[in-house]
Structure 1
Amino acid sequence: MNEEAVTTGWDAIEEEMKKLYGAQEPKHYGTVVPYMLGGKDPLDGLSAYKAEKPFPHWHIVTFGFSELYEKESEDADYSGYGFELTFRVARGEDEEEPPMWALNLLQNMGRYVFNSGNIFASGDYMDANGPICLGADTQLTALAFMEDPELPPVHTPNGRVEFVQMIGITEDELEAMKTWSTLGVLEASQAALPGYITDLSRDSLLQIPAVAEAVQRGIERDGSSTGFLFVDQLAWEPGRNRLFSKTPAVLCLGAKQAGTIGKLLRGRLLKGKDLTLASQDMSVVLKPGMETGYETEENEVRLKLDEAAIHEISQKLQPKEEEIRLPSYKGLIIQVVRTHIKDQDGNVVSTIG
Structure 2
Amino acid sequence: MSEEEVEAAGWDAIEEQMRRLYGPQEPKHYAALLPYMLGGKDPLNGISAYKAELPYPHWHFVTFGFSELYEKESDDPEYSGYGFELTFRLVRSADEQEPPAWAMSLLQNMARYVFSSGNFFASGHHLDANGPICLGADTRLTALAFTDDPEVPAIDTPNGRVEFLQMVGITADELEAMMSWNTNSFLQSAQEALPGYITDLSRDSLLQKPGIAEAVQEGIERDGSNTGFFYVDQLEWEPGKSRLLNKAPAALIMGAKQAGTVAKLLRGRLPKNKELTLNSQNLAVILQLGEETGYEEGEKFVRISLSEAAVQELSTTLRPIEGEYKLFTAKNLTVRVRKTYIKDQDGNVVETIG
TM over 0.5: yes
Q: For 2:33 and 2:241, locate their aligned partners in 1 and report how far apart those are by CA, in whole Å.
A: 59
Q: Percent identity?
A: 68
Aligned residue identity for 2:150:
P
Q: Name the residue aligned to 2:101.
A: 100
Q: For 2:311 and 2:54, locate their aligned partners in 1 and report how far apart those are by CA, in whole Å.
A: 47
Q: Name the residue aligned to 1:26.
A: 27
Q: Name the residue aligned to 2:349.
A: 348
Q: Name the residue aligned to 2:11.
A: 10
* Aligned-partner SS, 1:330: coil
Q: For 1:195 and 1:345, locate their aligned partners in 2 and report how far apart those are by CA, in whole Å.
A: 36
Aligned residue identity for 2:268:
G
Q: Are 1:309 and 2:314 matched, yes or no?
A: no
Q: How does 1:229-244 map to 2 (within 5 A)?
A: 229-244=230-245
Q: Name the residue aligned to 1:76.
A: 77
Q: Name the residue aligned to 1:224.
A: 225
Q: Name the residue aligned to 1:109.
A: 110
Deviation at 1:4? 7.2
Q: Are 1:331 and 2:335 matched, yes or no?
A: no
Q: For 2:16 and 2:345, locate their aligned partners in 1 and report how far apart those are by CA, in whole Å.
A: 37
Deviation at 1:245? 1.7
Deviation at 1:54? 0.4
Aligned residue identity for 2:128:
D
* Aligned-partner SS, 2:226: coil
Deviation at 1:346? 2.2
Q: For 2:21 and 2:242, locate their aligned partners in 1 and report how far apart those are by CA, in whole Å.
A: 68
- Provide Cα deviations, 1:78-101, integer angstroms capped at 9, x if missing partner: 100000000000000011111111
Deviation at 1:201? 0.5
Q: Are 1:179 and 2:176 matched, yes or no?
A: no
Q: For 1:165 and 1:180, locate their aligned partners in 2 and report how far apart those are by CA, in whole Å.
A: 19
Deviation at 1:3? 5.7
* Aligned-partner SS, 2:332: strand
TM-score, length of structure 2 as denominator length: 0.98
Larger CA deviation: 168-177 vs 4-13: 4-13
Q: Name the residue aligned to 1:215.
A: 216
- Provide Cα deviations, 1:28-47, integer angstroms capped at 9, x if missing partner: 00011011211111100000
Q: How does 1:204-283 map to 2 (within 5 A)?
A: 204-283=205-284
Deviation at 1:242? 3.1
Q: How does 1:147-226 map to 2 (within 5 A)?
A: 147-226=148-227
Q: For 1:88 and 1:344, locate their aligned partners in 2 and report how far apart those are by CA, in whole Å.
A: 26
Q: Name the residue aligned to 2:137.
A: 136
* Aligned-partner SS, 2:347: coil
Aligned residue identity for 2:247:
K
Deviation at 1:325? 1.0
* Aligned-partner SS, 2:133: coil
Using a 3 Å threshold, how does the CA distance of structure 1 residues 5 and 154 change in structure 2: closer, same or farther? closer
Q: For 1:135 and 1:195, locate their aligned partners in 2 and report how far apart those are by CA, in whole Å.
A: 26
Using a 3 Å threshold, how does the CA distance of structure 1 residues 104 and 150 change in structure 2: closer, same or farther? same
* Aligned-partner SS, 1:329: coil
Q: For 1:272 and 1:284, locate their aligned partners in 2 and report how far apart those are by CA, in whole Å.
A: 16
- Provide Cα deviations, 1:249-285, integer angstroms capped at 9, x if missing partner: 0110110110111111110011111100010000110
* Aligned-partner SS, 2:352: strand
TM-score, length of structure 1 as denominator length: 0.98
Q: Name the residue aligned to 1:318.
A: 319
Q: Name the residue aligned to 1:298.
A: 299
Q: For 1:347 and 1:151, locate their aligned partners in 2 and report how far apart those are by CA, in whole Å.
A: 41
Q: For 1:114 and 1:299, locate their aligned partners in 2 and report how far apart those are by CA, in whole Å.
A: 26
Q: For 1:160 and 1:8, locate their aligned partners in 2 and report how far apart those are by CA, in whole Å.
A: 12
* Aligned-partner SS, 1:114: helix
* Aligned-partner SS, 2:252: strand
Q: How many residues align?
A: 352
- Provide Cα deviations, 1:143-168, integer angstroms capped at 9, x if missing partner: 00000011111000000000000000
- Provide Cα deviations, 1:321-349, integer angstroms capped at 9, x if missing partner: 01111111111111100011112222211
Q: Are 1:48 and 2:58 matched, yes or no?
A: no
Q: 4+ residue stretches of structure 1 with deviation over 6 A?
A: none
Q: For 2:350 and 2:186, locate their aligned partners in 1 and report how far apart those are by CA, in whole Å.
A: 29
Query: For structure 2, which runs of at least 5 residues remain unmatched after alignment?
Result: none
Deviation at 1:5? 7.5
* Aligned-partner SS, 2:50: strand
